[in-house]
Structure 1
Amino acid sequence: MKSNFLNLKKNFSIPKGTIYLCGNSLGPPLKSMGSEVKKFVDEEWAKELVKGWNSKGWFEQSKKIGNQIAKIVGADKETIIVGDTLSTQVFQALTCALKLNQNRRYVLTDNGNFPADIYIAEGLLKLLGDKHELKIVKPEDIIEHINDEVAVIMLTEADYRTGRIYDMKNITQLAHSSGALVIWDLAHTAGVLPIKLSETKADFAVGCTYKYLNGGPGSPAFIYIAPNHINKVEPALFGWHGHKNPFEFNLNYLPSSGIEKMKIGSPSIISFASLKHALDIWDNIDMNELRLKSIELSELFISEIDKLSIDLNLVSPRDPYFRGNQVSYSLENGYAFMQALIQENLIGDFRSPNLIRFGFSPIYLDEQDIINAVAIIGKVSRNSLWRKFSNQSRKIVT
């Protein structure tokens, strides 16, 4: 086995006594992250100052880190660029896809897609006038709505509410057979599922790096464009970093070649430093082994919850091969229940109207964590510890 999960766990900084099942929202830092960022400030920024763009290769980091991510998501080199926010990358991908398929009417998505992606689609289509229309259907109805009127199918691989996952290869094949293009949002799967973008012939993909990739709060997003599309597309946002000759400061935009044309402006190099450090551990992780281990952990969690016989309703698929690394339950007082769990040092999160979510990443969790987590859930339920939070005002971020 290539992946030594027990050794990997030792590398993460999680408060003693805390069980962290919230990597689906924000991953924890490596213990060495603070010193690594300090090293960047002291050894690169402070010493090199503006020279660092050349001497330390800052300008090339967008593509170099993109190549690191490419290995994790099964993409070819030079097909991923890193920078900006996920919403920006969704805008870029959808604009490119619509230009390639501009004579078709619909952008097809589902009501399990992350709302931010839908907001971007709504805003873009409004900008484009009445040329295209957004069609939102139930996840189980996506396949029957794929036809020759669909320009782009825009889906999140794992439902942020339930963890249900799509068969990426099958959906992409069906889309292509009808002449549609597909954009995959990998925010909830990059770093936990053995994604194979090249093999599945995905057209576009986007994702964030602060969840299972552990890049840090607000760490930059990424965009993937298939090799057969990259020379045909034009970015929606003409950024100076995406110019063929950015430091000639020509008043006319001339796009760079390849994936680098998707760069926009100056990225946060400090964020790149922390992200690169977080990604380095993936050299020692086999994604298939990680997937099997995560299934073991989530299956153990579900089976132990079942034994409690408490009022938690599983909303995630019971079959582990139809869900990602997230397990969700519904219950009437979900927000209060989650606050009680957090007070007992079990960290998951809540999503309206009544979902509590738990994420499982084997690189910092083991079987004992799962047993201890379920014990806390049982304690909160038996002793009604959630009641003292039942009238509490909701926090801004849950």
Structure 2
Amino acid sequence: MTPDQRAAEFDAADPLAGYRERFILPENVIYLDGNSLGALPRATLEGVSRELREAWGGGLIRSWNDAGWFEAPARVGAKIAPLIGAAPHEVIACDSTSVNLFKLIAAALAMRPGRKVVLSEPGNFPTDLYMIAGLEAQGLAERRLAERERLAEALDGEVALLLLTHVHFKTGALHDMAALTRAAHEAGALVLWDLSHSTGALPVDLNAAGADFAVGCGYKYLCGGPGAPAFAFVAERHQADLQQPLTGWFGHAAPFAFSDDYEGAPGIARMQCGTPPVLGLAALEIGVDLIAEIGVGRLYEKSQALSSFFLDCLKAHGVDLELVSPARSDERGSQLSFRHPEAYAICQALIARGVIGDFRAPDVLRLGFAPAYLSFADMAAAARHLAEVLATGEWQAAEFNRRAAVT
């Protein structure tokens, strides 16, 4: 049976196949970059338009109350909470991932007086490491990096916080959240998980793992749109003691009292800083509702099936690329990454064919599998395109054009 024939059988039996129509996808495009920017839900067009016409255009300033703008960060956060194994009052949608990282790293350091070390791994997503460096420049933190297989033994009495990305952005490798959180706690450290490549793509259970803090973005698998608001999780047991450093007015206990002195709001609301981005939250809420409707468990099951089938298709075409991602589907996120010295040129040749993946320096071709809107037929076709690009040398033309453009 050919890959196309197998794909047709899988698609016919796919219980999620109908959700593809709930997204806007360009014709003749196979979109394998949903792990960078999720596709646009059809409902977002009308939902955001209604927010513009009725709430902003019609309600004007009254919509802070009448249209629920004030409550939007907590409301959207509560909807994200079950997707990551948290209670509704432990999550809030606000700011960006980078800003939330800064707030929670600083807060964690303040909760571990006498300790300054923030432990992470080399090759973590850059903004996670940059936020540590920013606090280090202020004399508040000390950055320490350890290879992932040495993280547990690097947890000593100097470590205040372990900061890791649950699914590695480049390789897709999955950390054992429960084991590392337990090891950190045994060493007296707190743990902050970056869920940007996890939320909406695979099951996460922060409370079962005993996690302290987490952040994540809204524009990848949650399909909240470019620059969508991020979210922050603070375990209930830490909320009373949390002192986040960006003491903006929306994190105040009584923002409209206009007091000269800051008093943090109770609970997760303290994580807010400035005025919430209402239109961004409106788009994010629609994406979150759709992903929650489909169900993370079902999405993850299909994601594993899609990635495994893609590898089978490559094998059927005789393609032998170095797989950077873990070979076992239960040890990786919703992506496959391959190493090739001409990965950039290969990526550009695929894009020219309508297969949109992405490149990660220096030599990684990264393909994301967003199961809400991808089909098994997409996998068969994408594998065929990749095989043809490699066999025909099309990537050489792409590399020539790139070099010509910079010389």
Q: TM-score range by the shorter chain?
A: over 0.9
C-alpha deviation, 1:139, in angstroms: 1.6
- Check whether the contact 2:317–2:384 (CA below 8 A) recurs between aligned residues: no
The TM-score with structure 2 as length reference comes to 0.93
> Partners of 1:358 and 1:286 in 2: how far apart?
22
Q: What do you get for the CA RMSD once the two structures are aligned? A: 1.4
Deviation at 1:283, TM superposition (A): 3.4
SS at match of 2:41: coil
Quote the residue 1:115 is aligned against.
Answer: 126
Of the three residues 71, 92, 96, the one matched with 1:60 is 71
The answer to whether structure 1 residue 23 and structure 2 residue 24 are counterparts is no
Distance 1:136 1:125 in 2: 13
Deviation at 1:311, TM superposition (A): 5.2
Query: Aligned equivalents of 2:401 and 2:170: distance in 1?
Result: 23
Query: Partner residue of 2:178?
Result: 169
Match of 2:89 in 1: 78
1:286 partner amino acid: G
| Residue aligning to 1:34 | 45
Q: CA deviation at 1:390?
A: 0.6
Q: 1:249 to 1:393 in 2, by over 3 A?
A: farther
Residue of structure 2 in register with 1:379 after alignment: 388
1:345 shift after superposition: 0.7
Choose the corresponding residue for 1:89, options 91, 100, 116: 100
Task: Determine whether 1:346 maps to 2:360.
Answer: no
Distance 2:230 2:145 in 1: 25
Percent identity for Structure 1 against Structure 2: 38
Q: Distance in 1 between matches of 2:373 and 2:291?
A: 13
Select between 34-43 and 339-348 the one with higher mean Cα deviation.
Answer: 34-43
Q: Distance in 2 between matches of 1:151 and 1:88?
A: 19
> Structure 1, residues 213-267: CA drift from partner, whole Å, max 9, x if none?
1000000111100000011111110010011110111110111100001110112
Q: Secondary structure at the match of 1:75?
A: coil
The letter for the 1-side match of 2:268 is I
3-state SS in 2 of match to 1:392:
helix
TM-score normalised to structure 1 length: 0.95
Equivalent-residue separation in structure 1 for 2:376 and 2:319 (angstroms) = 21
The change in CA–CA distance for 1:264 and 1:132 in structure 2 (over 3 A counts) is closer
Q: Which runs of 5+ in 2 are unaligned?
A: 1-13
From 294, 299, 308, the equivalent of 1:299 is 308
SS of 2:45's partner is helix
| Pair 1:69-2:84 in alignment | no
Q: Tell me by how many angstroms 1:344 deviates.
A: 0.5
- Verify: 1:178 aligned to 2:187, yes or no: yes
In 2, distance between residues paired with 1:137 and 1:93? 21
1:227 corresponding residue in structure 2: 236
Q: How many residue pairs get matched? A: 390
Question: What does residue range 1-398 of structure 1 map to in structure 2 within 5 Å?
Answer: 4-127=15-138, 129=139, 132-310=141-319, 312-393=321-402
Report if aligned partners of 1:112, 1:160 keep a CA contact under 8 Å in 2: no
Q: Distance in 2 between the 1:52 and 1:42 partners?
A: 12
Query: Where in structure 1 do 4 or more consecutive aligned residues deviate above 4 Å?
Result: none
Q: Give the Å deviation of 1:6.
A: 1.1
Flag structure 1 segments of 5+ consecutive residues without an equivalent. none
Contact 2:109–2:116 (CA<8 Å) still a contact in 1?
no
For 1:383, the aligned partner's letter is T
Query: 3-state DSSP class of the match of 1:232?
Result: coil
| Residue type at the aligned position of 1:115 | P
Letter paired with 2:17: L
Report the alpha carbon displacement of residue 320 of structure 1 after superposing the two structures with TM: 1.1
Partner SS for 2:40? coil
Quote the Cα distance in structure 2 between the aligned partners of 1:392 and 1:189. Answer: 35
Helix, strand or coil at the partner of 2:89: coil
> CA–CA distance in 2 between the matches of 1:305 and 1:144?
38
**Structure 1 counterpart of 2:394, which letter?**
L
Partner deviation per Cα, 1:33-70 (whole Å, 9 max, x = no partner): 22221111111110001111011110110000000110
Q: 139-148 or 268-277: which moved more?
A: 139-148
Cα distance in 1 for residues equivalent to 2:292 and 2:119: 36
Q: Displacement of 1:119 after TM fit?
A: 0.5
What is the distance in 1 between the residues matched to 2:45 and 2:311?
A: 35
| Whole-angstrom distance in 2 between the partners of 1:200 and 1:267 | 30
Q: Give the deviation of 1:99 after TM superposition.
A: 0.8
